[in-house]
Amino acid sequence: MPKYNVNVTSEIGELEGVILHSPGSEVENMTPENAERALYSDILNLSVASKEYYELKEVLNKVTKTYEIKQLLTETLSNDISKEALIRNVCQQEGAYEELDLLLNMPPALLAKQLIEGVVLNRDNLTKFLSNERYSMRPLHNFLFTRDSAMTIWNEVLIGKMASKVRERESLIMETIFRDHPFFGVPTINPERVAGGRNAFRNATIEGGDVEIASENIILIGSGARTSTEGIDLLTEIIKEKKEGTKHLIVQELPRKPESFIHLDMTFTFLDTNACMVYEPLILKKTKYHTIKITIDNGKVTSIREEASLLKALERCGMELTPINCGGHGDPWIMEREQWHSGANFFAIAPGKVIGYERNEKTMEEMNRNGFEIIKAMDVIENRVKIEDYQRVVITIAGSELARGGGGARCMTMPVKRKNVSW
């Protein structure tokens, strides 16, 4: 079987392949008491979230090839060597050696389900009987946000080094899929096995929501609650080792509070070759949060300098973008409210064609004023409108429930292939 060649050289190139994870019982397998530990501010209603997710997935099925993590994982686990390696790694990482034999004897489909939805604690001794925990291996509550645990950077996949332990299993699963699946088998970069390994960058964390591929030479990366400065140093080392001409890393510092600022893509996303979505108070106003441009030339850092803003840094690299405001203009309360509900978090399926939440009305009005037609996902799905009839368009998906999980369309998609863009 020929191997799949990943290729992502921009955020907006025509989409040719994307990895998804349709939410399952793992998003409901929490209580208000432990929701914060699961990185949620509230618990979701799965039946409503699933209907909303259906809109995202079916729109994507209209325009590209979609791959489901559970199916990919099941197929990967049919290889006994990959299966045993993953189980042993997960059990070691989570201190769950007592589950080793149980998991090793599971068929691939059941094992994939258990690894994602959680392994219920077997109360076979006093300590376990009295435990307040429901699971010996907790559900992956956040796996619908496939963006974070692996990221396609040009022609390789960088495995995420997650900021929270509750998400570490996601990275192990994604690395196993990309390395061992018979269709993929693509080059992966594991942060713990690069540039000196885990001891060289002990505090490094890096998640895909903070990494945006602007072009073949430019990467934007957020530095904040989920991606550390050491994580950015790690990415710098990875790029240095390749010695592939001149590359630019543009770093945007992010507030650590409130939680809606967890990733760069909650404040800035690309929309077209000449347009971007911004949360104005952070991206366009003067703040205490630095923008730094790092230039790497043939394996050496040749410059680290502070820039006036993210857009100014991009402009100095030859990329001029017109900003469109999340929440519109003038009312900071509306801006803040819509940013909280992932109003800046758009996902491009082609230049000028993006997906976002319909609930962010002022953001949609601003998009429309900038030449984007607004159409509903269900109208696309049921063939009442055709995406190809529009030059600039926003396809809106329902987001009353999904947005409460803390992410938008970009968060829920992990592109593996895009066409190159003619700038």
H-helix or E-strand spanning residue 146: none
DSSP label at residue 206: B
Q: Which residues have C-beta within 8 Å of that of residue 303, sequence separation ≥ 6?
A: 293, 294, 295
- For residue 284, give both structure tokens: 């366009």
φ/ψ (deg, to 5) at 232? -70, -40
In a domain, 1, yes or no: no
Residue 334 lies in a domain: yes
**pLDDT, tens digit, for every residue of 107-149?**
999 999 999 999 988 888 888 888 888 889 999 999 999 999 9
What confidence score (pLDDT) does residue 40 get? 54
- Global pTM value: 0.94
Q: Is residue 4 part of a domain?
A: no
Assigned domain for 2 exists: no
At residue 414, what are phi and psi to the nearest 5 degrees?
A: -125, 90
The pLDDT value given to residue 33? 57
pLDDT tens-digit map of 353-412: 999 999 999 999 999 999 999 999 999 999 999 999 999 999 999 988 898 888 999 999
The DSSP H or E segment spanning 417 is strand 414-418
What is the model's pLDDT at position 197?
52
In a domain, 46, yes or no: yes
The stretches in the chain having pLDDT less than 50 are 35, 38-39, 198
Domain harbouring 294, CATH code: 3.75.10.10
CB contact at 8 A, 417 and 13: no
Contact 186, 4 (CB under 8 A): yes
Q: Does residue 389 lie within any of the structural domains?
A: yes
Q: State the pLDDT at residue 38.
A: 46
Q: Which two tokens stand for residue 350?
A: 């082609």
Q: How far is CA 10 from CA 7, 56, 268, 277, 347, in A?
A: 9, 21, 14, 15, 12
Helix (H) or strand (E) holding 404: none
- E-assigned strand segments in 308-422: 322-325, 347-350, 353-357, 373-376, 393-397, 414-418
pLDDT for residue 272: 98
| Residue 287 belongs to some domain of the structure | yes
Residue 3: inside a domain, yes or no? Answer: no
How many domains does the structure of the chain reveal?
1
- Domain range for 394 is 15-418
